[in-house]
Amino acid sequence: MIQIGEGAWQIPVMPRQSVNCYLLGDVLVDAGIRRSGHKLLAALRGKAVGGHVLTHAHPDHQGATAEVCRALNLPLMCHGAEREAAETGYVLGSFPNPTSLMARMQQRFFAGEGYPVARTLVEGDKVGGFEVVETPGHTAGHISFWRASDGVLIAGDAAVGMNLFTTVPRLGLPLDIATWDMEAARASIRKLAGLAPRRVAFGHGPAVDGARFVQFAATLT
C-alpha cells in the first residue's frame, strides 16, 4: 500500500498502478477487476474495514466488490445513479456504446457479480473522513472524495493519471470510449480543481501534486 495522506492508502491491484483501490479510514474505495479479490483481501488483512464504496460501477472498479463484501461482511455504498449496475453486475449501460467490443469484453472478463447496495450517497455525505463530491461525466453517478483539512482528493476516474494503453504517467481526461458525457467530465475536473487540492489520486496512475492537477484543469476548454 502507498500512503496518500493520514489514514489514506492507495492499494494498486494491477501493475504500474494501472488500477488502484483505496482505504480511507475504515472504508474501502473500489475493488478492481473480477480477479482482484485475492490481492485486495491480502492487502486488507489485519486492517479494520467497516464499509465499501464505489466511485462508479465500471468493471475495473466493481469487479471484486461482491467477493470482498462477502468475505469481510461490508455494507456497499455508491451514488444512486450507479445502484442498478452495482446490484445487478450489468455494467454496460453507462458506456456510450454498450455494444462496442471494448464494452462487451469489459463485461465478460472484468465485471463482477452484483451486490446489494446498503446506502446511496450524495454530495456532502461523509465517508471514511472524506466528503463526497459528485463528479458526473465518466458515468452519470461518478463520485470523488475530498478532505479539506489536508487537501487530499481521491478523484477516481473523474480524470486519469496515466495513458491507459501505455501506462506512462500523465494527466488526462477519462477514456472517451468509456465515458458517458465528456463535457460533463470536463466540468467535473474544473469543479475538483476549484477545491485547490494539495494531493490528487486516481483510479488509474500515480498520485500527483495538486498544483499539477489545477494546471491541467486550466487547459481544458
The predicted structure's pLDDT at residue 24: 99
C-alpha cell at 33: 477487476
C-alpha cell at 177: 470510449
Cα gap 147→95, rounded to integer Å: 29
Cell numbers 453517478 correspond to what residue? 141
Residue range(s) defining the domain that contains residue 55: 2-218
Are 205 and 162 contacting, i.e. CB atoms less than 8 angstroms apart? yes
How many Cα atoms occupy the beta-carbon half-sphere of 2 within 13 Å? Answer: 15
The predicted structure's pLDDT at residue 94: 84
Per-residue model confidence as pLDDT tens digits over 36-68: 999 999 999 999 999 999 999 999 999 999 999
Q: What is the mean pLDDT of each run of 10 residues along the chain (221 residues)?
A: 98 96 99 97 97 98 98 99 97 90 92 98 98 99 99 99 96 96 98 99 98 98 75
Cα gap 69→66, rounded to integer Å: 5
C-alpha cell at 212: 499539477
Domain CATH for 206: 3.60.15.10
Cα gap 205→180, rounded to integer Å: 21
The predicted structure's pLDDT at residue 156: 99
Q: Write phi, then psi, for 8 (nearest 5 degrees).
A: -125, 120
Cα gap 88→143, rounded to integer Å: 19
Q: Give the DSSP letter of residue 90.
A: -
Q: How many domains does the chain have?
A: 1
The predicted structure's pLDDT at residue 14: 95
The predicted structure's pLDDT at residue 119: 99
C-alpha cell at 95: 458506456
Whole-prediction pTM: 0.96
